[in-house]
A and B are shown apart, each in its own frame.
Chain A
Amino acid sequence: DQQVKQNSPSLSVQEGRISILNCDYTNSMFDYFLWYKKYPAEGPTFLISISSIKDKNEDGRFTVFLNKSAKHLSLHIVPSQPGDSAVYFCAASAIQGAQKLVFGQGTRLTINP
């Protein structure tokens, strides 16, 4: 069963506008959520995270929002830049135990000049 879902395989946004990537999860035991960015032929790179005790975390152009009641999180990128073009993965974990990450399928973001 897919515990973390990213329902949009791709997203195209104009440079300078806002990019919004969405993620849904089903497991209530998850208490930490992360976004990773991946370029071709490279491993995923950590972008930003949020604990379940928060509903928003901001780092420069990147903001992650968490809606626990809806089991939904989103990543906002403002303004979008051509270098942001990559595949973005949402991941979830439980702080206890192995802290293994459960990933979504990924969303390919393309920023058009």
Chain B
Amino acid sequence: DTGVSQDPRHKITKRGQNVTFRCDPISEHNRLYWYRQTLGQGPEFLTYFQNEAQLEKSRLLSDRFSAERPKGSFSTLEIQRTEQGDSAMYLCASGPTEVFGYGYTFGSGTRLTVV
């Protein structure tokens, strides 16, 4: 078990370009979350998957954002037509359904810089 993996670790893109991030959760975890963290703030919830079903999306997730989790395994987060305000750390977390008290396991994140 190597924990939650995120790729890439860093991404610099020009405004208007599309970017895609990948998250590989801990294999037996059926819950998967995406969060966004900006400087000086705590992580903010973006979206949640239970297996392959996307069950909740934050209003922070504009139409330019889309997330998938095919077959309930890895997940991707795509941002279309990036804007400078999208610059942030994007964190993925996974956890089992049954045990909540141990929190979720976070990946190291993908830092996005839009120039």
Contact = CB atoms under 8 A, between A and B. Distances in A.
Contacts, number: 61
A41 B108 contact: yes
A61 interface: no
A24 to B, nearest CB: 13
Contacts of A32: 100-101
Nearest to B40: A105
Nearest to A102: B45
B56 A103 contact: no
A106 B42 CA distance: 6
A67 interface: no
Interface of A: 4, 6, 9, 32, 34, 36, 41-46, 49, 51, 89, 91, 93, 95, 97-106
18 contacts: A6-B42, A36-B106, A42-B108, A43-B106, A44-B43, A44-B91, A45-B106, A46-B104, A49-B103, A93-B100, A95-B100, A98-B55, A99-B95, A100-B45, A103-B44, A104-B42, A105-B42, A106-B40
B41 interface: yes
A46 B55 contact: no
Contacts of A45: 106
A90 to B, nearest CB: 8
